[in-house]
Chains A and B, each alone.
Chain A
Amino acid sequence: MTIISPGPDTEKSMVALLHKGDQAAFCKIYDEYAPPLLAIIRHIAGDDTLADEILRNAFVRIWAERPAYNPAVERLFNWMLRLARTVAQTMTAQAAAGKGAERHTPLQEPITDEENQMLLYLVFFRGYNIERVATELNTTPELAKIKVINAMKQLKGKWVA
């Protein structure tokens, strides 16, 4: 599968415009990154209507907090993803509290049955923090963290090698 993502020059020019407060550039950034972000947000929210609200709020926050993005540290996608996940986790927790019940559906079959994939699935798609992964695996947070990191390393070997 070919996966198109913007080249470094395109991203650089978009970031420059974003820092200047260019709303048209922000539209382009939305078009580019909203689809992959929404995929992840939907998994965390477990509800498509809530996911839409999260996406809306996430992009408003991305705009509001754009001065905090430092291109020397990470790519724009990573910064946006970290911010979107924070919004998704907060709003999903609020929605669950409002309903007075656990909103997440029971743990579904992960993408593959390998434990590594499942760990990444929990963290990346379901937005679990390390404590929750540890509970799920019936282990300590320290061990859970090492396992997740190892899973990420293996995945990196598979996708980027």
Chain B
Amino acid sequence: MTSLKDYIASGKLEAYVLGICSEEDSREVAEMAEAYDDVRKAIDELTDVLEQYGRAHAVTPDPTIRPFVMATIDYMERLADGEVPVAPPELHQGSRISDYNEWIMRPDMELPADFNDFYAKIISATPERTTAIAWLRYGAPEEVHSRELEKLLILEGSCNVIMDDTVHAFNPGNVIEIPLHVPHTIIVTSSLPCKVILERKAA
């Protein structure tokens, strides 16, 4: 079947795998791959090349990203299941733990038994502001926010926040505001996980 061989050698598959072909070609390649094993096999071989390239340079992501992704997915699924989004109050220096009772009391916003080092449940998320309940076992590695203002309200446990070589200690009821562009590290000082209201607001 020479025409199939020609198709495989045409360069369209390489362009598809590299993401540089037109929408039209992309649809055509997908149809061909579904119809012909040899085309599919050729695409797999090219994918292997890219994957090996990527794995040779692999970077371990920051450990807080995965829980954040999973919390977002959980929230999306809750909304898809009919949960009505409610905007919680904005965090400020005068905020009290009881301002968030509605969410703290929710039975589906508890720490799961298989909790690792970081877990979060999103209360509400809009492009402007995300509010979540978060649990930290040990803390959070150094971060710098350049586009999001981060605030925390301690609900349970305690933690130290290191900013600019100064250690600030926080206990239940305390509000922490992290300024933009300042590297900060959170270290949990209680034996129980530190439970917080976490707010990130577009700066």
- Chain A interface (Cβ < 8 Å from any Cβ of B): 1, 3-5, 21, 23, 26-27, 30-31, 34-40, 42, 49, 52, 55-56, 59-60, 63-64, 70, 72-75, 77-78, 81-82, 85-86, 123-124, 129-130, 145-146, 148-150, 152-153, 155-156, 159-160
A85 partner residues in chain B, CB cutoff 8 A? 19
| CB closest chain-B residue, reference A98 | B147
A77 partner residues in chain B, CB cutoff 8 A? 47, 50-51
- Given contacts A35-B61, A60-B69, A78-B17, are A40 and B74 in contact (CB under 8 A)? no
- Given contacts A49-B144, A59-B69, A148-B20, are A38 and B14 in contact (CB under 8 A)? no
Other A-B contacts than A37-B54, A148-B14, 14 sampled, CB-CB below 8 A, are: A23-B73, A36-B58, A39-B54, A39-B58, A60-B72, A60-B76, A64-B76, A77-B50, A78-B50, A123-B18, A124-B53, A152-B14, A155-B53, A159-B48
Secondary structure type dominating chain B contacts: helix
Chain B 159-195 per-residue mask, 1 if CB under 8 angstroms from chain A, else 0: 0000000000000000000000000000000000000
Which one, B48, B49, B61, contacts A152 given CB within 8 A? B49
- Are A160 and B54 neighbours in the complex by a CB distance under 8 Å? no
- Chain B interface (Cβ < 8 Å from any Cβ of A): 11, 14-15, 17-20, 29-30, 33-34, 40, 43-62, 65-66, 68-70, 72-74, 76-77, 144, 146
- Are A70 and B57 neighbours in the complex by a CB distance under 8 Å? no
B44 partner residues in chain A, CB cutoff 8 A? 74-75
- Are B14 and A149 neighbours in the complex by a CB distance under 8 Å? yes
Which one, A64, A74, A123, A160, contacts B43 given CB within 8 A? A74
In the complex, A30 Cα to B63 Cα: how many Å? Answer: 12
B146 partner residues in chain A, CB cutoff 8 A? 49
Secondary structure type dominating chain A contacts: helix
- Given contacts A36-B58, A39-B57, A59-B69, are A148 and B18 in contact (CB under 8 A)? yes
- Are B66 and A38 neighbours in the complex by a CB distance under 8 Å? no
A39 partner residues in chain B, CB cutoff 8 A? 54, 57-59
- Are A60 and B73 neighbours in the complex by a CB distance under 8 Å? yes
Q: How far is the CB of A116 from chain B (nearest CB, A)?
A: 12
Q: How far is the CB of B130 from chain A (nearest CB, A)?
A: 11
Q: How far is the CB of B66 from chain A (nearest CB, A)?
A: 5
| CB closest chain-B residue, reference A30 | B66
In the complex, A35 Cα to B63 Cα: how many Å? Answer: 11
In the complex, A17 Cα to B15 Cα: how many Å? Answer: 30
A27 partner residues in chain B, CB cutoff 8 A? 66, 70
- Are B52 and A159 neighbours in the complex by a CB distance under 8 Å? yes
A59 partner residues in chain B, CB cutoff 8 A? 69
- Are A35 and B59 neighbours in the complex by a CB distance under 8 Å? yes
In the complex, A60 Cα to B71 Cα: how many Å? Answer: 10
B19 partner residues in chain A, CB cutoff 8 A? 81-82, 85-86
